[in-house]
């Protein structure tokens, strides 16, 4: 989960100052005494995650006296603009922590190193091909996907048990039709069956849409992408719309909320379930009142099974770094299976590596870890993350259209027209 702290001018200035301090050196990445100096900008923000990253940097430095890594603290809120500024100013960190859906412009712009000849076979073989596709742009690989976060249902155990509804498992999940019916059964006086926090509705809609066979973005033989809406693309938005506007089993007030905003109502029994990113479990553990019982359920499935799109966290190397080989060696160290597990637990997310996913520490029912691991094999690249023009489509077309549709202001046909017709006009400008 990315931090949701309000960005201020002071925060941006501080982040840039830290970055420039961490990246300054002799100009060739050395300290003047023959020691290679690398800068690693981390976006870890939760205490457990920051501690894990800092400890791993310390362990590297203790065992690699000739290659010293300087830890630089970045922020999810400012990372794109801050990196762009640092790239253009030739002050980029050597090792860059980001997310795969933020890499396309940097990769196509020539700011990131192609990692294909830099990474060891151990690491490339350990991470599944579907994860590598999230960081492949054109013919190159521009990041190592290492942490991923499925969307799950976090549910009030007492309400589920009292209702008598069937409890889904990864092997036998609810269908989207069943899920809609279940939320009606869980709705009662002063309580909604579900709360959809859809302040940012696009990624939720597209990523969960893969489970119903939705795709929306279709690449052609010429490499150009067009938007087409099939039957599967309407399952998820149609379900959410009907829960809010027909069944009244989903809270209308939650539509404008972020994930954290729904937790007080969830703890108070106002919502029986909340679809959230896997890492929100940490907030539940830390904030739930004493005695509150909760469980983690898989998201509903459709013709695509449990498939859902993800944009993993990534580690990249700056194209301008004079020490790409050493930077890749540090990435390999960070992502050894036991270290990948430490990073995953610190962020309450799932590792991409097959060896790390097999670690017994993650195969526990406590806090829903085993449910997440079971879902991990169904995770796929987010449908549109490598599409040129997607950010504009998302901000100017899809976000307002979906918000109006979920609130009942427009119907399904108008939604389709805006997503597809208006969307293709946006993409056409980027694909001339």
Confidence of residue 5 (pLDDT cuts 50, 70, 90): very low
- The DSSP annotation for 298-344 comes to EPPBBTTBT-EEE--EEEEEBTT-S-HHHHHHHHHHHTSHHHHHHHH
Q: Is the pLDDT of residue 277 over 50?
A: yes
The average pLDDT across 122-146 equals 96
What pLDDT is stored for residue 383 in this prediction?
87
> Average pLDDT over the chain, rounded to whole?
92
pLDDT at 4 over 80: no
Which of 177, 244, 221 has the alpha carbon at shortest distance from 407?
Answer: 244
Please report the pLDDT score of residue 25 as a whole number.
38
- pLDDT of amino acid 22: 43
Reported as a pLDDT band with limits 50, 70 and 90, residue 222 is: confident
Q: What is the mean pLDDT of residues 412-430?
A: 96
**Local structure of 93: helix, strand or coil:** coil
| Percent of the residues in the chain that have a pLDDT greater than 70, as a whole number | 92
Greater pLDDT, 388 or 10: 388
Number of C-beta neighbours around residue 246 at 10 A: 12
What separation, in Å, do the N-terminal and C-terminal C-alpha atoms of the chain show?
Answer: 35
Q: Convert the pLDDT of each residue in 10-24 to its tens digit.
A: 444 444 444 444 443
Whether the predicted pLDDT of 212 surpasses 70: yes
pLDDT interval class at 29 (50, 70, 90)? low
pLDDT number for residue 196: 98
State the pLDDT at residue 432.
79
Q: Give residue 385's pLDDT.
A: 77
Per-residue pLDDT at 8 exceeds 70? no
Q: Alpha helix locations (H) across 187-243?
A: 201-209, 231-242
* Contact indicator for 210, 380 with CB cutoff of 8 Å: yes
Query: What is the rounded radius of gyration, in angstroms, for the C-alpha atoms of the chain?
Result: 22
Which residues, listed in sequence order, are joined to residue 69 by a DSSP beta bridge?
Answer: 38
pLDDT the model gives residue 20: 42
Question: What does the pLDDT read at residue 384?
Answer: 85
Question: What is the pLDDT at residue 17?
Answer: 43
What's the mean pLDDT in 377-381?
94
pLDDT in tens, 172-202: 999 999 999 999 999 999 999 999 999 999 9
Residue range 372-379: mean pLDDT, rounded: 96
CB 315 within 8 A of CB 224: no
Query: To the nearest whole percent, how much of the chain has pLDDT over 90?
Result: 85
């Amino acid at each position: 989960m990315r931090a949701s702290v309000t960005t201020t001018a002071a925060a941006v200035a501080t982040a840039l100052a830290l970055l420039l301090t961490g990246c300054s050196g002799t100009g060739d990445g050395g300290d003047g005494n023959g020691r290679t100096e690398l800068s690693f900008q981390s976006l870890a923000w939760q205490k457990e995650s920051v501690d894990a990253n800092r400890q791993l940097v310390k362990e590297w430095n203790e065992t690699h006296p000739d290659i010293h890594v300087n830890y630089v603290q970045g922020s999810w809120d400012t990372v794109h603009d801050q990196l762009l500024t640092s790239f253009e100013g030739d002050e980029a960190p050597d090792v860059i922590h980001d997310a795969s859906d933020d890499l396309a412009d940097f990769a196509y712009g020539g700011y990131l190193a192609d990692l294909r000849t830099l990474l060891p076979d151990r690491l490339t073989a350990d991470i599944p091909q579907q994860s590598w596709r999230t960081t492949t742009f054109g013919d190159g690989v521009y990041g190592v996907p290492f942490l991923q976060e499925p969307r799950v249902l976090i549910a009030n155990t007492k309400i589920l048990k009292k209702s008598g509804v069937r409890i889904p498992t990864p092997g036998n999940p609810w269908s989207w039709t069943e899920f809609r019916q279940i939320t009606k059964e869980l709705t009662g006086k002063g309580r909604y069956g579900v709360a959809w926090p859809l302040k940012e509705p696009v990624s939720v809609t597209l990523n969960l849409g893969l489970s119903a066979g939705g795709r929306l973005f279709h690449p052609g033989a010429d490499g150009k992408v067009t938007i087409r809406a099939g039957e599967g693309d309407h399952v998820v938005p149609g379900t959410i719309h009907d829960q809010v506007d027909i069944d009244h089993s989903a809270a209308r007030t939650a539509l404008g909320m972020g994930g954290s905003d729904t937790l007080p109502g969830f703890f108070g029994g106002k919502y029986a379930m909340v679809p959230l990113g896997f890492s929100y479990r940490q907030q539940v553990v830390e904030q739930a009142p004493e005695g509150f019982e909760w469980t983690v359920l898989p998201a509903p499935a459709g013709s695509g099974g449990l498939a859902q799109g993800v944009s993993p966290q990534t580690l990249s190397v700056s194209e301008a770094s004079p020490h790409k080989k050493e930077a890749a060696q540090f990435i390999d160290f960070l992502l050894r299976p036991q270290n990948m597990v430490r990073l995953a637990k610190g962020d309450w997310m799932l590792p991409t590596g097959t060896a790390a996913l097999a670690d017994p520490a993650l195969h526990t029912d406590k806090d829903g870890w085993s449910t997440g691991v079971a879902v991990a094999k169904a995770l796929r690249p987010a449908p549109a993350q490598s599409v040129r023009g997607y950010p504009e489509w998302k901000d100017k077309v899809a976000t307002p259209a979906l918000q109006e549709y979920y609130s009942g202001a427009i119907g399904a046909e108008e939604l389709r027209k805006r997503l597809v017709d208006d969307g293709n006009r946006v993409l056409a400008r980027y694909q001339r």
